[in-house]
Structure 1
Amino acid sequence: MRENSPPTDEENSAPDAEASSETTTELDRADLATVIDEITQNDLSALTPEEGLEMYKQVRKDELTDSTIRTQDSRLSYFIKWCDEVGITNLNKLTGRDLLRFRTWRSENLRPVSIKANMRTLRLFLEQCVKFDAVARSLPEKVDIPSVDEDDISRDEFISSERAELILEHLDKYEYATTEHVVWLLMTAAGLRLSGIRSIDLDDISPASNGSHLQLVHRPDSDTPLKNKSRSERIVHVSKYVSQVLTDYIDNQRPDVTDQYGREPLVASNEGRIVGTTIRKYAYKWSRPCVVTGECPHEVPDDEIDDCEAMQSGSHAYKCPGSSSPHTVRRGYITHELDIGVPKQVISDRCDVSSEVIDTHYDKRSEEERMELRTDIRESTYTGEDDSGYGQ
């Protein structure tokens, strides 16, 4: 028996080695990021927030569209402003605690979905700053991006098909084949983005037996990029009615102009191709409830209605709480297509939007409603077929 025998060297050393290994593992897991930061901190080069933002935009300009760059620039400008307010003049000094303070500051008066977008952009910015040797490697991961409940996403903000119909009836009667009428038809009958509307030339329109085909082409070198670049290129069919309005517009209302690149834009002004701000203005202008119905649903007293800037001027129409942006009109179009049973893949191809985005932002139907629609489609497809084999 070895009950009273002294432990061997192996017995003496094994527990200590195991404990040492466990301690080392715990140290590695807990402090590895800190150790790396301390090692790399000495390699950082001083960079002001303003300089960092300019470098970021320069690096990403070939990867992102101009509109996305502008959006990210706008979001990051708040971070630059905050750095100035708290006295951060060197990105090397940023800490995780600073990022939390910025998020708290930025959260005032912003919806959760907007906070999520802002913080995601900040993380992308800091990931580039790592490559600029401006911040520690672990800093981007310290950006706290909140999870957003689907109920917080603005998918409920859209123009209903009934409201869109009223607006189109009004334009058909009082603004037939004007530039504003054409813009609204392209939004409500084809679900085009602002960039898509701007991109169409006269040569991109071709007649079809049941309407017209619109060719959407990504042309960034002549100021008409599409959102997803070449992936957004496609042919979109429009009905006979829309085709006739486009013909009447081209023949009678469209200014005979070319843009600065010698192209003939479909939607034009006297100066050339229409600009994005004008399309937004038309969306806000005709989506004001008072324009179509003559009534204000926002309980503005009669003695104050003449002082309502949103009612008095199309340039201030965006101030009306009932007016809508072009994207809200597009959201209404996609929602309507889903409601009437157009297959998701068809909508995806026609509107250049992924099925995942459709599920998250547009599809509000219950599971029962989806089941009923699938049943209706299958029954109409199999009409006249026998009940054997597939589809029975």
Structure 2
Amino acid sequence: MPNSLEPISPDEAVQFYLNNRQTELADGTLESYRYKLTHFVEWCEADGIENLNELSGRDILRFKQSRQDDLAPVSLKAQMDALRAFIRFAESIDAVEQDLHSKVLSPSLDRGDRERDVLVEEEQAEAALDYYRQFHYASRQHTTLTLLWKCGARTGTLRAFDLGDYDPENARLLAKHRDGTPLKNKQDGERLIALSDDTCQVLNDYIQHHREDVMDENGRDPLLTTKHGRVSKPTIRATCYRGTHPCRYNGGHCPHGRDPDECQALNPPEKAPSVCPSTRSPHAWRRGAITYHLTEDVPIEVVSDRMNVSPDVLEAHYDRRSEEVKVEQRREYLEGV
């Protein structure tokens, strides 16, 4: 170990890093880094690495190998990219040897593995919603997934909904930019979102039977709540992961050939589905919802307004229809021309 290094535990170094980036990162991004680096800290503890000075390139490779069986390629790349950024910071505070970050090997992705191609398929969404309709009807989780799939909303938009933004008489929700619950595009993201009858029914039953009657720290009445107030982004993310965990709705049969008694996606349960390759993030739900709307022949201008995304961005980053689907949809419009 070089004499210039100063002893520090992995946990303390990660906390230094997160505190240092707190002013430059959005809360959601910071929470994402915290989540990814927690896995590294726990691995260090299990492997007996108490002083980060001892970390080597071989250790980093072993950590990567410990994670690659539990993560999809996209998630593994995100994990290792977050670790590389942290290691670069650790070099700056004399916690690890210089240039150690260059030994963090992040996997390259084929086009099919890229994040923009990861989405919740219609079959997966319907299986998840069917499960919640049957076993957890109108729960906060069921309501969250219903709004994600039916509205294609961002996580921040879901959080921003107040109870008064729901208009059951006119079957719509108001997305509004406010202090404490900003929309991504601020005032440009404000809009009325039309709701179907079945979505309204879920919302009505959730509000009447399951919504926690609490205010947030700004004295407002959130639509989606926990006992502690307005639902958080990590809670929404966990709901999305759990909602797409295949063992939840396919009779316990693992599509990845794992033993449920040993699967890290189920044990311990609080870490559950985030490490299952089949589970999907809130953004994958949004991408899937947009693709589903387009596949159902909803005009791109309507989807653009409803989901608050420009047509160009929608086509480049969200529309995952196959060319076969697109050509058949065009054929229907051109018949008789």
What TM-score bracket applies, with the shorter chain setting the length? 0.5 to 0.7
1:54 aligns with 2:54: no
Counterpart for residue 89 of structure 1? 51
CA distance in 1, matches of 2:195, 2:69: 46
CA distance in 2, matches of 1:201, 1:148: 40
Deviation at 1:190, TM superposition (A): 0.5
2:79 match: secondary structure = helix
1:189 match: secondary structure = helix
Deviation at 1:186, TM superposition (A): 1.4
Change (3 A) 1:64 1:336: same
Residues 57 and 103 in structure 2, CA contact (< 8 A), matched pair in contact too: yes
Change (3 A) 1:341 1:133: farther
Change (3 A) 1:333 1:282: closer
1:140 match: secondary structure = helix
Counterpart for residue 74 of structure 1? 35
Deviation at 1:189, TM superposition (A): 1.6
Deviation at 1:202, TM superposition (A): 2.8
Counterpart for residue 112 of structure 1? 73
CA distance in 2, matches of 1:131, 1:316: 31
Unaligned runs of 5+ in 1: 1-40, 300-314, 384-392
Residues 49 and 55 in structure 2, CA contact (< 8 A), matched pair in contact too: no
Counterpart for residue 17 of structure 1? none
Deviation at 1:187, TM superposition (A): 2.0
CA deviation vs aligned residue, 1:303-325 (integer Å, no higher than 9, x gap): xxxxxxxxxxxx99979x9x966
* The one of 197, 201, 206 aligned to 2:158: 197
Higher relative contact order (CA 8 A, sep 6+): 2
* The one of 312, 326, 329 aligned to 1:370: 326
Counterpart for residue 101 of structure 2? 140
Residues 152 and 307 in structure 2, CA contact (< 8 A), matched pair in contact too: yes
Unaligned runs of 5+ in 2: 255-269
CA distance in 2, matches of 1:235, 1:317: 35
* The one of 332, 335, 357 aligned to 2:291: 335
CA distance in 1, matches of 2:42, 2:124: 43
CA distance in 2, matches of 1:128, 1:249: 49
* The one of 120, 125, 130 aligned to 1:158: 120
Change (3 A) 1:80 1:180: closer
1:241 aligns with 2:241: no
CA deviation vs aligned residue, 1:240-287 (integer Å, no higher than 9, x gap): 636854884598555654334311112346764456648955985799
Deviation at 1:52, TM superposition (A): 1.8
Change (3 A) 1:346 1:60: farther
1:261 aligns with 2:218: yes
Residues 45 and 134 in structure 1, CA contact (< 8 A), matched pair in contact too: yes
CA distance in 1, matches of 2:201, 2:12: 50
1:128 match: secondary structure = helix
Change (3 A) 1:99 1:340: same
Instruction: Calculate the aligned-residue CA RMSD, in Å.
Output: 5.1
Point out the structure with max Rg over C-alpha: 1
Matched pairs, number: 313
Residues 247 and 253 in structure 2, CA contact (< 8 A), matched pair in contact too: no
Change (3 A) 1:131 1:157: same
Change (3 A) 1:218 1:353: farther
Matched ranges for 1:283-362 at <5 A = 284=242, 296=251, 298=253, 327=282, 329-342=285-298, 347=303, 350-351=306-307
1:237 match: secondary structure = strand
Counterpart for residue 187 of structure 1? 148
Deviation at 1:106, TM superposition (A): 3.7
1:217 aligns with 2:177: yes
CA distance in 1, matches of 2:90, 2:28: 22
Change (3 A) 1:170 1:349: same
Q: TM-score, structure 2 length as denominator? A: 0.65
% identity of equivalent residues? 28
